[in-house]
Amino acid sequence: MKKISLILFVLSWSALAWSQEKATEFPIRGLCIGTPNPDKVPAFIKFINEELGPRQINTLIVRIDFKYQYESHPELRDSIALTKTDVKQIVNACKRNGIELIPQINLLGHQSWAGRTSNLLRVYPEFDETPWVEMPAQYKWPNDDGLYCKSYCPLHPDVHGVVFSLVDEICNVFESMAFHAGMDEVFYIGESKCPRCSGHDKAELFGNEVRKIRDHLAASNRRLWIWGDRLIDGKQTGLGMWEASMNNTHRAIDLIPKDVLICDWHYERPDKTAVYFAMKGFDVVTCPWRRPAVSASQQADMANLRTTATAIMKERYKGIVQTVWSDAGSFMDGFYANKKDDKGTDNTPWHSFNTLFTKAKVKESR
């Protein structure tokens, strides 16, 4: 009898493995990438048509930030920025390929990078959560100020009037029903020297900001997507200050509306935090980066979760989004040349992308 049970167990397990979903079968199959420069738009459209479409990618998050010629706030435009015509070409390519296009502007955190202040705080320095922290001539981490990226002050009375104009304009031109607000790696929040935020609970500040953005989008039937790291306890999980929170914002997970979609990024290990978000009631996508072996595990985990979860939980495991932390032009260069990384290995976002998403077989025609 034991032998028969064992055989049955092996058979059922093989059947499970055999029927395991691939990334191309998940409800959300995405790519998150930096905006192409205007001269790379034609190549990017070719890439959408020839690579994203045939791989059944159905979600494209474009990290646009200030790289668009905003009409609502021209003072915030980057010097090199897409025109409306550029964007409409991308919109049309996505439509033709059945891809949902989602713009991203970093809200709250990531208002500077290394030694450079981004446009919002450069033009509106009064929104700076830490105006006393000067940008260093030569950026180094770690540093005495704990400066990774600047944040805007979520309690400044004028900040949302400006950023929501950008959000509305970019969602309109992208014709998008969702918006990605970033909100990752927020280290400066609720600073004791901020006259508005001092003494406030950091989880409440973070949670209230998420809710404010979510409510603004919901008024136009749009959905908020964010990175998940601020909602994970970095100390208890051992995940640390980057891919989780060490400044108590993690309690905001119980304060934010459940219809916010969580992009759960982990790049070094296939951490199983998608379960945490799903159990809290959130839709979640797992986001790999540049380690194909990790990406393959993350894909298998997502498939297993979707196979073994209750019907309610299964609905929340939405799929996988490959993240790319360069602009589209650099990614396409690496992708088409099949470049190795600087150590001569295949640990690159394009190798991860190819691991996750393979082109559908083209039907032979006579």
Query: Which pair of tokens denotes residue 168?
Result: 């509305």
- In terms of DSSP H, where are the helices of the chain? 2-18, 41-47, 84-96, 119-123, 159-174, 202-218, 234-237, 274-279, 292-308, 311-314, 328-337, 349-356
Q: Which stretch binds Zn ion (CB under 5 A): 12-20, 82-90, 150-158, 230-238?
A: 150-158
- CB nearer Zn ion, residue 155 or residue 246: 155
In this chain, which of 147, 181, 194, 203 binds Zn ion, going by CB under 5 A?
Answer: 194
The answer to the question of residue 197 lying near Zn ion (CB under 5 A) is yes
Q: How far is it, in rounded angstroms, from Cα 336 to Cα 351?
A: 11
Q: Which of 196, 212, 216, 223 binds Zn ion (CB under 5 A)?
A: 196
**Start-end of H helices in 127-273:** 159-174, 202-218, 234-237
SS3 of 36, please? coil
Per CB under 5 A, the segment of 76-84, 117-125, 138-146, 196-204 that binds Zn ion is: 196-204
CB of 206 to Zn ion, least distance (A): 12
Asked if residue 153 binds Zn ion (CB under 5 A), the reply is yes
d(Cα 356, Cα 286) in Å, to the nearest integer?
12
Q: Using an 8 Å Cβ cutoff, are 239 and 203 in contact?
A: no
Site string for Zn ion, 123-142 (x = CB under 5 A): ------x-------------
On whether the CB atoms of residues 150 and 116 are closer than 8 A, the answer is no
| Residue 167 CA from chain centroid, whole number | 16
Nearer to Zn ion, 194 or 302 (CB): 194
Question: Whole-number minimum distance, CB 161 to Zn ion, in Å?
Answer: 16
Query: Which listed range, 44-52, 64-72, 149-157, 241-249, lies at the site for Zn ion (CB under 5 A)?
Result: 149-157
- Between the alpha carbon of residue 41 and those of residues 35, 67, 327, the distances in Å are 9, 13, 11
Residue 13 CB, nearest distance to Zn ion (Å)?
Answer: 54
Spatial CA neighbour of 87 closest among 19, 171, 165: 171
- Report the nearest approach of Zn ion to the CB of residue 346 (Å): 44
Residue 306 structure tokens: 């979707």
Cβ nearer to Zn ion, comparing 77 with 212: 212
- State the minimum distance, in angstroms, from the CB of residue 26 to Zn ion: 39
Give the nearer residue to Zn ion in terms of CB position, either 41 or 153.
153
**Does 99 engage in binding with Zn ion (CB under 5 A)?**
no
Q: How far is the CB of 131 from Zn ion (least distance, A)?
A: 10
The residue among 129 and 264 lying less far from Zn ion, judged by its C-beta, is: 129
DSSP 350: H
Nearer to Zn ion, 192 or 310 (CB): 192
3 state SS of 105:
strand
Distance CA 55, CA 226 (A): 24
Footprint on this chain of Zn ion (rule: CB under 5 A): 129, 153, 155, 194, 196-197
